[in-house]
Chains A and B, each alone.
Chain A
């Protein structure tokens, strides 16, 4: 392992901090239970996908300076993706981007996610060793649709729990 604290580590910290700063004021829009569910789902999803593609036998990409499990990668898993998912759901629910609007919204987020992934590659945060940027085109919309489905499912379950409390 040869970890140097250089620009890519700063990039990890700055982008994760920006995501966290945007997340903090909007977190109260959701209940704490919803935040935990969304956070845990994203954490395990990205950890699973990354471990699957980074490790044997695929070796398609790696985070940071070495093809090992780096703290910077874990930092991204823990803060970046869950915060971005909460922001995604906040805009979706606050502005009621339901029905046909969802398609346009998912397309916009896919474009933004691809641009952000490209930025990560340019800043050597993400190093491709077989992966291509266009492979991700299928991943982002799928992840967004599953996230919306999970959000609606969780909202329904939490509503069921809240109903007895609302009864007089």
Chain B
């Protein structure tokens, strides 16, 4: 049941993503998706396997749900954030979007804890917020760098 709910949630986010007007090149979307997934997986792996501050229960359902989340839900939401950011014209709107996504991603992290797929042990709530405060600007930098490479580079080779 829990896995089914997470499959539905992942599918819904994927649907929203596909319906969002594209403001990024296809290759940009892929690279940002992979980068977002890599960052989130490293955070999860380090906290789960080394620091033991995150616990994934030793059962298939939470493991599969968390697996889906780290390759679809979180990366796709981060790409949606980047797509929407490119459509915002003023700094205030961009900042509001940034705050909104920090709250959304933090709330999802909290939901993972409540549903029992990613239990936070000896955890401070501000650590989750700090993760997104840092990750989202990092992704903006990655997107901008890849934009320069993609649109100013020589691809005839």
Which residues does A use to contact B, with CB under 8 Å? 1, 28-34, 36-37, 40-41, 43-44, 47-48, 51-52, 54-57, 67-69, 74, 154, 157-159, 161-162, 165-166
**Is B57 touching A56 in the complex (CB atoms < 8 A)?**
yes
Chain A interface: which of B13-21, B80-88, B92-100, B146-154?
A: B146-154
Residues of B6-38 contacting chain A, CB below 8 A: 25-27, 30-31, 34-35, 37-38
- C-alpha spacing A157/B149, complex, angstroms: 14
Secondary structure of the A contact surface, majority rule: helix
- C-alpha spacing A45/B146, complex, angstroms: 19
In the complex with contacts A31-B155, A51-B41, A161-B155, A40-B49 CB distance below 8 A = no
**Is B37 touching A44 in the complex (CB atoms < 8 A)?**
yes
- C-alpha spacing A67/B49, complex, angstroms: 8
Count how many chain B residues have C-beta atoms less than 8 Å from C-beta atoms of the other chain. Answer: 35
Secondary structure of the B contact surface, majority rule: helix
- C-alpha spacing A161/B34, complex, angstroms: 21
**Is B27 touching A33 in the complex (CB atoms < 8 A)?**
yes
Residues in B whose Cβ lies below 8 Å from that of A56 = 56-58, 63
- C-alpha spacing A44/B72, complex, angstroms: 12
Residues in B whose Cβ lies below 8 Å from that of A69 = 42, 45-46, 49-50
- Which of A29, A41, A69 has the most B CB atoms < 10 Å from its CB? A69
**Is B63 touching A43 in the complex (CB atoms < 8 A)?**
no
Residues in B whose Cβ lies below 8 Å from that of A31 = 153-157
Taking the nearest CB of chain B, how far is it from the CB of A39, in angstroms?
A: 9
Partner of A1, one of B26, B44, B50: B50
Taking the nearest CB of chain A, how far is it from the CB of B32, in angstroms?
A: 9
Assess whether B5 is interfacial by the CB under 8 Å rule: no
Taking the nearest CB of chain B, how far is it from the CB of A30, in angstroms?
A: 7
Assess whether B101 is interfacial by the CB under 8 Å rule: no
B117-154 near A? 1/0 per residue, CB < 8 Å: 00000000000000000000000000000100111011
Assess whether B60 is interfacial by the CB under 8 Å rule: yes
**Is A55 touching B34 in the complex (CB atoms < 8 A)?**
no
